[in-house]
Structure 1
Amino acid sequence: MHLALVTTYPPSQGTLVEYGAHLARVFVAKPEIERLTVLADCLPKEMAAPPDPPNVRRVWTFGSPLNSLRLARTIQQLRPDGVIYNLQFASFGGSAVPAALGLLAPGMTRALGIPTITLLHNLFETIDLRQAGYAQSPFKEQVLRAGGRLFTRLLLQSHLVATTMPTYVEILRREYGAKNVFLAPHGAFEDPGPPPPLPEAKRVLAFGKFGTYKRLETLLEAHQLLLKRDPAVELVVAGTNSPNAPGYLEGLRAVYGDIPGVIYTGYVPEEEVAKVFSEAYVVAFPYTATTGSSGVLHQAGQYARPAVMPRIGDLAELVEAEGYRAEFFSPGDAKGLAEALWRLFSDREYAQQIGLANYRASVGVLLEDVADWYLLHFERLRRKYAH
């Protein structure tokens, strides 16, 4: 089988890049896959990057209105046996027009007669658009929600749509009458082996792309409060600006740069991710909103790390549905966040219990097993639509 995977791909700093890289890795290892072609996003010209693997073709550009046409043309030339899209609503652009036009691609692929599955990581119905930084006024929010419904319907033109959370399947079936959706768990990226012990250092990790709904002001203020209790507490900010919030981290450092014990790592290459999580005592989620199933929470669980988070949106759903545990705080409450972190720092046994619960929740299903589900669905589609 020749499979094409449309995704962001390292060293791109776009959304879902880690998931896309691991999805490509597990597909390549499957004996059913004779050939995998990754149709990836183009890198900025100024980015110094090693050569891509020979099966990676960079054919689309974040923010371009022409992505669906470029993808359709490339896929028509390749004629793969199946195409899987690894998407969220902002995958193709930070503004409405390129983001929306890019989402036409799965339907265009189906129109070419090629079995098409879209893995959709979020839904407009579950996103607080204003808190997430996509809408600054009620009018724009209404326009975006109307557009979101339209393009959800367009994505449902894929032969099949997979989502990572049961709630999403329910919404698509109830609100859109969709009969072509199925649940595909996020999956642990790899079998991590025995859960690593907590480090001695009191180190808080914030991981991701920051500036829209992942904001660090409250966490930095909480860090200042923790320093009064223990000057050795550290905060590691691992990641980059969100594509929708250029300059955010630079502005933050200009305001909070004099706070001691804060480390900004910048972009974390895939081979360094395990080290970053293993050296953390706790993973913090200073979110004001959620936009889908949290890959960072799954990674925290994979390394048996406790979590501190607000009880909002899809984070709360994950805790409820998949067995994760966390200490909670109210969004924007620096004192509450500091107290939640200190409860874990001051009770190592309790922190280990939460970390082990998250480990069990995370490694229950491996991504390599989830990939088998996709291949099974592709085989059914190939039989159903064989000419």
Structure 2
Amino acid sequence: MKLAIVTAYPPSKVTLNEYAYHLVKSFRQSEKVTELVLLTDHTPEGKDINFTENGCKITVKECWKFNSYANIINVTRAINKTKPDAVLFNLQFMKFGDKKVAAALGLTLPLICKIKQIPTIVLLHNILEQVDLESAGFTSNKIAQKVYNFIGTSLTKLILKADLVAVTMDKYVTTLQEKYKVDNVKMIPHGTFEIPEKPSHQLPKGPLKVMTFGKFGTYKKVESMIEAVEKVRKSSGLDLEIVIAGTDNPNVPGYLESVKERYKYVSQITFTGYVEENQVETLFNESAVVVFPYTSTTGSSGVLHQAGSYGKAVVMPNLGDLATLIEDEGYRGEFFEPESTSSLADAIEAIVTNNTYRVQLGDANYKAATAFPMERITNMYLEEFEMISAKQNNFSKATVI
């Protein structure tokens, strides 16, 4: 199978590029895939395709730009030129831009592939029906929220024209089936990127690192975490380092710089900036606990799956999709109330003051992560593509007869 993947890809800063890296890493090792065609966004640096493992040929076509109105034309041309046997879209609603028209035009591409009779699967990481638009940083205006919901419903109908829409949580399947009356939605788990043979619970000498990882400024804000760690330092006397790993959310440029300035009086805060793929393992392994300082959620959490794969204890808000993941996939953690710094401090303190408990949580999360390695996830997609192709072939034969 010659498989095309429409996605952002490292070193891109566009959302979901890290997930695409691990999809590609796994797909290229499948005997069913003869060539991967990456239909990616333009980046100044070359794409990161230098894998150490053997695998199939990879062809990179940089054919779209964030917020470009020409993406629909340029991606279609790339598909026409490369002639893939199947196309996988790695999507969320703001994938092709944060301007309404550019984003909408990009999301028509699965329908175009369907019209061309190319087996098409959309991996949709979030659905608008489960997003708190105000907390997620879209808009607080009630009229604007109604407009966003109308646009989101219209775009979802377009996306559902694909042969299959894969979502990462069971409740997304139920929501889409009930609202849109469709039967082409299926839950395929997020999957876990890297799974060490055995996680190490040994921590480096020095301060215990309390880490958070992501793109910050909208519903992911670090002020409460900084203040919570300050409380734990005072109450426990422990030597704690705050590690804020990642960058600004594109919708909130300058956010982390403003946090640096505001909390410059706080000792032992590290802002790592963008974390290269080869630095992720060290970042997690050195951390005593991974914190999710979220006020809302917009889909399954890649960071939670990463934390699980490295056997890390986690602190999570008791809300939305994170709470659902705990229930569905077996992850464990300390919960806190999203708007309460004291609650967050209590959750962090429960872990950093009890090493046995920290290790127990880490072991439980590693067990949950190992249930869905990326190899298993990519095999699910390949099986779905085979069923779509067989269905199309049977339909063609019936039409000829």
The TM-score bracket by the shorter chain reads over 0.9
2:38 maps to which residue?
A: 38
Q: State how far apart, in whole Å, the 1-side matches of 2:298 and 2:104 are.
A: 16
Say whether residues 1:355 and 2:355 are aligned partners. Answer: no
How far has the Cα of 1:268 moved from its partner?
0.7
Asked whether 1:193 is paired with 2:197, we answer yes
Q: In the alignment, does 2:101 pair up with 1:68?
A: no
* Candidates 144, 148, 169, aligned match of 1:165: 169
Deviations 1:90-124 (A, max 9, x none): 11112322222211111111112211000011111
Distance 1:187 1:8, change over 3 A: same
Query: How far 1:265 moved relative to its partner?
Result: 0.7
TM-score, normalised on structure 1? 0.96
1:30 and 1:381 map into 2 onto residues whose CA distance is 18
Amino acid in the other structure paired with 2:241: E
SS at match of 2:242: strand
The one of 41, 45, 58 aligned to 2:62: 58
Where 1:182 maps in the other structure, the secondary structure is: strand
Instruction: Give the corresponding residue for 2:28.
Output: 28
Map 1:118-129 to 2 at 5 A: 118-129=122-133
Matches within 5 A, 1:78-97: 78-97=82-101
Distance 2:217 2:60 in 1: 29
Where does the alignment leave 5 or more consecutive residues of structure 2 unmatched?
A: 50-57, 397-401
- Residue 321 of structure 1, CA deviation: 1.1
TM-superposed deviation, 1:227: 2.8
**Could you tell me how far 1:384 is from its partner in structure 2?**
1.7
Question: In the TM superposition, what is the alpha-carbon distance from 1:332 to its structure 2 partner?
Answer: 2.5
CA distance in 2, matches of 1:100, 1:339: 43
Structure 1 residues 137-156: aligned runs within 5 Å: 137-156=141-160
2:240 to 233, 245, 248: 233
Establish whether residue 256 from structure 1 lines up as the match of residue 263 from structure 2. Answer: yes
Do the aligned partners of residues 148 and 198 (structure 1) sit closer, same or farther apart at CA in structure 2, a change above 3 Å counting?
A: farther
Task: State the distance in 2 between where 1:89 and 1:152 align.
Answer: 9
Give the partner amino acid of 2:223: E
Aligned with 1:213 (options 209, 219, 223):
219
Structure 2 CA distance, aligned partners of 1:240 and 1:87?
20
Q: Aligned with 1:38: secondary structure?
A: strand
Matching of residue 7 in structure 1 with residue 10 in structure 2: no
Aligned with 2:350 (options 319, 343, 353): 343
Deviation sequence 1:104-150 (CA, Å, 0-9, x none): 11111111221100001111111101000011211111110111111
**Structure 1 CA distance, aligned partners of 2:48 and 2:333?**
38
Change (3 A) 1:231 1:260: farther
Which of the residues 367, 387, 399 maps onto 1:380?
Answer: 387
Aligned CA distance change for structure 1 residues 39 and 230 (closer, same or farther; 3 Å): farther
Seen in structure 2, the aligned counterparts of structure 1 residues 52 and 271 have a Cα distance that, compared at 3 Å, is: closer
Alpha-carbon displacement from aligned partner over 1:231-252 (angstroms, at most 9, x marks no partner)? 6201111111112221111121
Structure 1 position 50, deviation (Å): 4.5
2:287 is aligned to: 280
**Cα deviation digits, residues 59-93 of structure 1 (max 9, x gap):** 11112222222211211221100000011111111
Question: 2 CA distance for matches of 1:263 and 1:209?
Answer: 15
Task: Calculate the TM-score normalised by the size of structure 2.
Answer: 0.92
C-alpha distance in 2 between matches for 1:28 and 1:358: 27
* Alpha-carbon spacing, 1:51–1:97, altered in 2? closer, same or farther (3 Å): closer
| Separation in structure 2 between the aligned mates of residue 381 and residue 38 of structure 1, nearest angstrom | 21
Number of residue pairs the alignment of both structures matches: 383
Per-residue CA deviations over 1:242-264 (Å, capped at 9, x if unaligned) read 12221111121121122111101
Q: Given the alignment of the two structures, is residue 223 of structure 1 paired with residue 223 of structure 2, yes or no?
A: no
- The 10-residue stretch of structure 1 (74-83 or 64-73) with the greater mean CA deviation from structure 2: 64-73
Q: What is the DSSP-based 3-state SS (H/G/I as helix, E as strand, rest coil) of the residue aligned with 2:287?
A: coil
Report what 2:55 is aligned to.
none
Q: Could you tell me which of 249, 253, 256 is aligned with 1:246? A: 253
- Displacement after TM superposition at 1:275 (Å): 0.6
% same residue:
43
CA separation in 2, counterparts of 1:130 and 1:198? 40
- Structure 2 residue matching 1:234: 3-state secondary structure: strand
Alpha-carbon separation, structure 2, partners of 1:272 and 1:194 = 19
SS at structure 2 position matched to 1:55: strand
Note the residue ranges of structure 1 that are not aligned, 5 or more in a row.
none
Q: Deviations over 1:130-184 (max 9, x none)?
A: 0000112111111101111111111001111111111111111111111111111
Q: Is the 8 A contact 2:61 2:78 kept in 1?
A: no
Q: Deviations over 1:292-338 (max 9, x none)?
A: 00000001111111111111110111111111111111113112111
Deviation at 1:355, TM superposition (A): 1.2
1:113 alignment partner in structure 2:
117
Q: Distance in 2 between matches of 1:253 and 1:95?
A: 29
8 Å contact 1:198–1:352 — kept in the other structure? no
1:69/1:105 contact within 8 Å kept: no
Secondary structure of 2:166's counterpart equals: strand
